[in-house]
Structure 1
Amino acid sequence: MRNRSLPRHGAGLHLPVLEWVRGYQKSWIKPDVIAGVTASAVVLPKAMAYATVAGLPVQVGLYTAFVPMVIYALFGTSRPLSVSTSATLAILTAAALGQVAPGGGLAQLAVATATLTLLVGIVLILAGLLRLGFVANFISEPVLTGFKGGIAIVIVLDQLPKLIGLHVVKGSFFHNVYSLFAGLPHASLATVAVGVVTIAILVALEHLYPKSPAPLIAVACGIAGVGLLGLQKYGVDVVGHIPTGLPSLVMPDLSLIEQLWPAAAGIALMSFTETIASGRAFVHSGEAAPLPNRELLATGLGNAAGALLGSMPAGGGTTQTAVNRLVGAHTQLAELVTAAVTLGTMLLLAPLIGLMPHATLAAVVIVYSIGLLKPADFRAILAVRRTEFVWALVALAGVVLLGTLKGILVAILVSLAALAYQVSDPPVYELRRKRGTNVFRPVSDEHPDDEQFPGILLLRPEGRIFFVNASNIGHKIVPLVERAHPQVIALDMRAVFDLEYTALKMLTEAEKQYRENGIAVWLVGLNPEVFAMVQNAPLGKTLGHGRMFLNLEQALAAWCSQERKHAAPDARQGSVH
């Protein structure tokens, strides 16, 4: 019989494109083509808009929706994922380029962008080869919510001047807010009108016709307004000349690596986080979930190849992936169709795109970026745990006040601090038994009739016990012991999956101190790994099998038996007297 596990072991030796091509069905061709064309109507306007967010020419957005898309279709493991750039990546790119090419010309920006994008690709490829796909989990969901909310505020503030026809000198958050309000009297009414109309079109289409290519329609209306009404003579700025044809080869500048690699690492982390989240969100029943390490390689190769052809950092996008899937995409052929439409746009439609108003692009960015700030998500976090709500706010404030690149560091540090806080303060529950059952549960006012057993204190610590939290657990146990005055402390360890050496040593010392004070310590429900560790330590010899039990029922039975033995001599002695 054929071993079904063999293909899985050898999966790394095959191109993912061969896997979906091999099982391709003719009935999928039409929906894949329709999905690819429809998705391109969303991808292209947004990619061009996000290129302007990064401070780059709009054609860079087209290049980003072409090369990385093709590479991902060949190497990626998510069938519906649509790859270009995003609001988050664009604002991070802008911050990185602002450090090495402030006010630079197009040639300098192109070289700096190529260097940054290549570094992002290299970081992703190395992470994939080192199987670091789990790194995306280092940013917790509440912190990621706050981070994206901060990104939304930064992007909207960055685009508002373009929406009203102002040219302001960028600075800190408060400087930008002040400059915006100070410049309001000088706003261009015609530009404001274009921006407001574009926003109205986008919002109306999103609500009334959610499956329509709203960005494409809005952009077409903006271009038509310039062509038919001559909006330029009223002070409306347009994109201007866009080169027609394929992108030119751009070589990176190795001297910029030292300055750009920290930003590249942060952008790579966010690219992978968005890519894997988008890929996982639209998996159909029966499809394999995206493989994190394969996704790192695919997006890394896409960025590395795109860097040489003028692309900015790329990753999977949730909105365009949703459109791709909802319209009917079955395989990565849909992405290749989107890339083909992008190629046709570069070759044929570049002069037309040059008529697009900057206010139209700004409106597209604002409408789709503001969705990153989701008050409902903040409320949901607050309803569950106030502490994590604070972490989300800290991440948001870090991005807004310190900048996006430092905001990534703040987000990661807050996530790690949150993790450290959680593991450093594990719960310790006092247990009682539900009457008439063998169910032991924490003491609660909701269950006042639960049985307690004078003389034995049942405690249940939870989580991994190690050098960071062992002393905190000890501090929580002390007042429970002082209140109960037990003869035995039974530690139910079934919820403890690991016991580190330092913690074991502290437990040994605590057992000795309690024993010298006439209190015995029993261990209950040790898993095999923890049991083996205790057995190999001096504590195992001290406790012996007589003070280690499989479950609380056994421990309680031993305690009751011990109590009966102590009570029997007292009864006989009383009868003699």
Structure 2
Amino acid sequence: MQMELAKTLRNYDRKNLSKDILTGLIIMAVSIPISMGYAQIAGLPAVYGLYGSVFPIILFGLFSTSPQFIFGVDAAPAALVGAALVDMGIQSGSKQAMAVVPVLTFFVAVWLFIFAFFKAGKLVNYISAPVMGGFITGICTTIILMQVPKLMGGTAGTGELPELAEHIWATLGQINLPSLILGLVSLAILLVMKKIMPKFPMVVVLMVAGVLLSYFVPISNWGIRTLDAVEPGLPVWSIPDFSAIGLKEAVIYSLSIAVVIMAETLLGENSFAQKNGYRVNANQELVAFSMGNLAAALTGCCPINGSVSRTAISEQYQGKTQLTGIVAGISMIFVLLGATGLIAYLPVPMLTAIVISSLLGATEFDLAVRLRKISKKECLIYWGAFWGVLMLGTINGVLIGIILSFAEMIIRTAKPARCFLGVQPGHRHFEDLTESLHNCEIEGVVIYRFSSSLFFANIDILQQDIENAIGPDTKAVILDASGIGSIDVTAADRLAILYRSLKAREIRFYITEHIAELNEQMRALGLGFLIEEGRVRRTIHVALKDMGIHYPYPLKGNVDNTERSPFRKRVDNSVQEFVWAFGSDSEAEIEKQIRLQIEQLKENGDMQELLHGQWNHMDELDADAWIEHLEEHIKEIVKISGQDEQELTVRFEKHRKKLREQMLKEHPELVAMFEERRRLLDEQLEKKWPDVYALVLKQREKDNR
């Protein structure tokens, strides 16, 4: 297991020093209320939250490969430890709890090291962006809901959405108005400053203002709570008392906590890494988690986790390396040694506003909006992970997200991209028949491309597609297997059945274009007879030659397939460019391009540029559609260019006539298609702009005299 110590600090750029130090101090200050609160949830005295923000965070900073993720006492592990104590009947804050929690933390460290040894970190590669986004947003929302009661003068909530909602409802009945006002004003200031001056350290200013407010104004008389005072001094290092809990219980409880730490922190790290364009070494991160938790165990703390909220704050204030975390840990030492008195002056509502502000910045609801537009399935996965975390907790939310992600992957693989192939007249290369109106089928041959590994879930689609494509004149089926990387036994058996069925109908079946390894798989799966009988060929061309079909291939409908001149090849290669490039949006894209060209016409007055736009090598069909769209803007073009409508109409019709002549010369077989398209476009023009259509019709009558 290769390790890179202090990776993010190597070749340190000194221009980041001030940002890292300032951000580290902010993280330290924000960690005080968060860590103290979560330590109490885990059944320990509040000061142990500060202990967990010293050596664990420093060790993590030295081992981590993430330049920005922050480690510390956090919600999920604290809640799991607290629940474990309840299950074991141990009272929170008791001496027994203080003995048991470090033992659980120690075994969490052991589990995390085991995960690293077996390279379990690679599992995060199978978790999609929607799962990560839903998971992070779910965690942020959960913590925000935990913090909301503190804005109102209450205590932090615990549990999932039902428990949190119940706690918020109960707190609503006893709101402390001064606390709520102070918290909301602080939150508003932070959100506004984040918009107008995102680099300004408003958090520091707000915390200093909070201390001064508490010192000079009797806010406690108004019911505004401040943090509890803690005793000065550093944590004492000691070996946990392993006799405090049974080995079986320690192993079982710690395993679930370790899984949560691995999943939540790796997901969080990868989410920030993807957003900011860097990579983390997942297995070394597990070692970093393990080392941090080992330090926590030896100082009596609860398990430590990666913190999304503190990382969001670090990102906001431009912390660039793990020096941020190390500064936070070292500065916490100075707080514990000589500044614990100041802690008692920090108003809880203001600190809560800081946490909520950072969490709002870390949510990814914008991803949900984007997914809703482009993929309903991935949007469902996002919300599944989100609601899973919110309703069922971190680990269940992760499991739901992973299950949905794998289900979506299986569905996607089960319905792969596939198409039937043909050739453009005069060309040798095979293309999707739907890619261009000029592509034609080879007479009597079905050529089918399947772009996925073949397995039990999608072999039926392949078989049905081929069966449905076979006609009375079909003499052969050629499978383009260039996208098939592997075959399972179910698919192999079905291919054998398909082959025999086609053979009985005197239809040849070929497999072509695939990698050589697929031949090894076919032999191992019992399809070696296809190779022996010459039904597995290297290319489609070789398969056709084996049937006695040579170039130029006979095309369906007796389309001329003689060799094109170099000029005609160039024209053919640009056939239906807009349809190929923009699909169903081609008409809208032509309109968009024309709008851009009209804006340019205002600047340069170049009418020639207007006729073609940026697509100078459009085929005749696209160019004709382009003119049709231009005619819809004829009044606007007249106003800009100074030409009259009659003059422009003459120019458009001359260009259209030239296109038809070129089509007749270069693609005589497509003139009928050109005329039909012309008729449809005319109908649209007459419906939308009857006066323009009348002008065009008048000009055509003149030309035909």
Shorter-chain TM-score above 0.5:
yes
Deviation at 1:277, TM superposition (A): 4.4
The yes-or-no answer on 1:319 pairing with 2:319 is: no
Equivalent residue for 2:669? none
Q: Work out whether residues 96 and 405 of structure 1, in 8 Å CA contact, stay in contact via their aligned partners in 2.
A: no
Residues 1:262 and 2:256 aligned together: yes
SS at match of 2:453: coil
CA distance in 2, matches of 1:387, 1:180: 33
Following superposition of structure 1 onto structure 2, how do residues 443-458 of structure 1 map, counting pairs within 5 Å? Answer: 443-444=433-434, 447-458=436-447
Aligned position for 2:338 = 348
| Counterpart contact for 1:306–1:312, Cα < 8 Å | yes
The correspondence of residues 433-472 of structure 1 with structure 2, limited to 5 A, is: 433-444=423-434, 447-472=436-461
Partner AA of 2:32 in structure 1: M
My pick for the range that moved more, 486-495 or 471-480, is: 471-480
Q: Which amino acid aligns with 2:305?
A: A
Q: Shift in Å at residue 129 of structure 1?
A: 1.4
Instruction: Identify unmatched segments of 5+ residues in structure 2.
Output: 555-705
Aligned partners of 2:264, 2:159: CA distance in 1, in Å?
24
Paired residues of 2:423 and 2:442 also in contact (CA < 8 A):
no
The 3 A distance-change label for structure 1 pair 110 and 279 is farther
Cα offset, 1:92, TM superposition: 1.6
Q: How far has the Cα of 1:70 moved from its partner?
A: 2.2
Amino acid at match of 1:84: F
Is the CA contact (8 Å cut-off) linking 1:116 and 1:261 kept in structure 2?
Answer: no
C-alpha distance in 1, partners of 2:453/2:302? 45
Q: In 1, Cα distance between the equivalents of 2:96 and 2:180?
A: 32
Task: State the shift of 1:247 in Å.
Answer: 1.9
Among residues 370, 380, 402, which one is paired with 1:390 in the alignment?
380
- Within 5 Å, give how 1:366-515 maps onto structure 2: 366-444=356-434, 447-481=436-470, 486-515=474-503
* Secondary structure of the structure 2 residue equivalent to 1:295: helix
Partner of 1:417, secondary structure, is helix
In structure 2, the CA distance between the partners of 1:299 and 1:404, relative to structure 1 (3 Å rule), is: closer
Q: Is 1:544 the counterpart of 2:532 in the alignment?
A: yes
Tell me the distance in 2 between the aligned counterparts of 1:105 and 1:305. Answer: 21
RMSD, aligned CA: 3.3
C-alpha displacement of 1:530? 0.3
| Number of aligned residues | 537
1:360 is paired with a residue whose SS is helix
Q: Distance in 2 between matches of 1:107 and 1:432?
A: 79
1:211 aligns with 2:205: no
CA apart distance, 1:416: 2.5
Deviation at 1:90, TM superposition (A): 2.7
Counterpart of 2:431 in structure 1: which amino acid?
Answer: R
In the alignment, which of 115, 130, 141 is matched to residue 127 of structure 1? 115
Q: Which residue does the alignment assign to 1:572?
A: none
Rg comparison, structure with higher value: 2
Q: Distance in 2 between matches of 1:212 and 1:119?
A: 42
1:44 aligns with 2:28: yes
Instruction: Note if contact 1:66-1:339 (Cα within 8 Å) is conserved in structure 2.
Output: yes
The amino acid across from 1:358 in the alignment is V
Could you tell me how far 1:110 is from its partner in structure 2?
A: 4.7
Q: 1:158 aligns with which of 115, 131, 146?
A: 146
What's the offset of the Cα at 1:195?
0.8
Kindly report which structure 2 residues correspond to 1:170-181, keeping only aligned pairs within 5 A, or say none. Answer: 173-174=161-162, 176-181=164-169
C-alpha deviation, 1:96, in angstroms: 0.9
- Distance in 1, matches of 2:394 and 2:521, equals 46
Deviation at 1:390, TM superposition (A): 1.0
The residue number in structure 1 matching 2:68 is: 81
Counterpart contact for 1:456–1:559, Cα < 8 Å: no
Instruction: Give the structure 1 partner of residue 182 of structure 2.
Output: 194
Task: Output the CA distance in 2 between the equivalents of 1:182 and 1:311.
Answer: 29
Q: How far is 1:524 from its partner?
A: 0.7
1:401-451 per-residue CA deviation (whole Å, 9 max, x = no partner) reads 22333222222222222233233333332223344444433342x622211
Moved more, 486-495 or 273-282: 273-282
**Equivalent position SS for 1:100:** helix
Match of 1:3 in 2: none
Q: Which residue of 90, 96, 99 maps to 2:83?
A: 99
Contact 1:198/1:222, CA 8 A, preserved across alignment: no
How far off is 1:494 after superposition?
0.6
Residue number in structure 2 paired with 1:570: none
Residues 36 and 336, structure 1, Cα contact 8 Å, conserved in 2: no
Question: Cα distance, 1:271 vs. partner?
Answer: 1.4
Flag the 1:356–1:531 CA change in 2: closer, same or farther, 3 A. Answer: same
CA shift in 2, pair 1:544/1:34, >3 Å? same
Moved more, 245-254 or 524-533: 245-254
Which amino acid is 2:85 matched to? A
Does the aligned pair in 2 maintain the 1:120–1:313 contact within 8 Å? no
User: Per the alignment, in what secondary structure is the counterpart of residue 548 of structure 1?
Assistant: coil
Question: What's the counterpart of residue 575 of structure 1?
Answer: none
Contact 2:149–2:157 at 8 Å: present in 1 too? no
Q: Is the 8 A contact 2:25 2:327 kept in 1?
A: no
- Distance in structure 2 (CA, Å) of the matches to 1:337 and 1:213: 16
Cα deviation, residue 373, structure 1: 2.9
Q: 2:53 aligns with which of 57, 61, 65?
A: 65
**Residue range with higher mean Cα deviation, 40-49 or 272-281:** 272-281
Any idea what SS the aligned residue of 1:187 has? coil
Quick check: 99-108 or 232-241, which moved more?
A: 99-108
Distance in 1, matches of 2:349 and 2:366, equals 29
For residue 518 of structure 1, give the secondary structure of its aligned residue in structure 2. Answer: coil
Cα separation, 2, equivalents of 1:291 and 1:432:
46
Specify the SS of the correspondent of 1:490.
strand
Amino acid at match of 1:123: W
CA-CA distance at 1:119 after TM superposition: 3.9
Structure 1 residue ranges, 4+ long, deviating more than 6 angstroms after superposition: 562-566
1:433 maps to a residue whose letter is V
Moved more, 176-185 or 266-275: 176-185
Structure 2 SS opposite 1:561:
coil
Question: For 1:550, what is the secondary structure of its paired residue?
Answer: coil
Note the alpha carbon deviations across 1:70-90, whole angstroms, 9 max, x for none: 223433344x335323xxx83
SS of equivalent to 2:336: helix
| Structure 1 residues 536 and 182: CA distance shift in structure 2, 3 A | closer
- Distance in 1 separating the partners of 2:473 and 2:152: 73
Match of 1:356, SS state, is coil
1:527 match: 515
Partner of 2:571 in structure 1?
none
**Distance verdict in 2 for CA 1:182–1:350, change over 3 Å:** closer
C-alpha distance in 2 between matches for 1:560 and 1:510:
23
Deviation at 1:559, TM superposition (A): 4.4
Higher relative CO (CA 8 A, sep ≥ 6), structure 1 or 2? 1
Please say if residues 133 and 271 of structure 2, whose CA atoms lie closer than 8 Å, have aligned partners that are also in contact. no
**How far 1:338 sits from its partner (Å)?**
3.7
- Hey, what's the Cα distance between the residues in 2 that align with 1:405 and 1:245? 35
Q: 2:215 aligns with which of 224, 227, 244?
A: 227
Aligned to 2:208, the other structure's residue is in SS state: helix
Q: Which residue number in structure 1 is paired with residue 293 of structure 2? A: 303
Which residue of 2 is the match for residue 184 of structure 1? 172
Task: Deviation per CA, 1:139-173: give whole Å up to 9, x if none.
Answer: 21112212222223322222111111235986663
Structure 1 residue ranges without an equivalent (≥5): 1-10, 567-577
**In structure 1, C-alpha distance between the alignment counterparts of 2:135 and 2:277, rounded to whole Å:** 25
Judged with a 3 Å threshold, the aligned counterparts in structure 2 of structure 1 residues 433 and 160 are, in CA distance, closer, same or farther, namely: same
Question: For residues 314 and 521 of structure 1, what CA distance do their matches in structure 2 show?
Answer: 58
Question: Shift in Å at residue 461 of structure 1?
Answer: 1.4
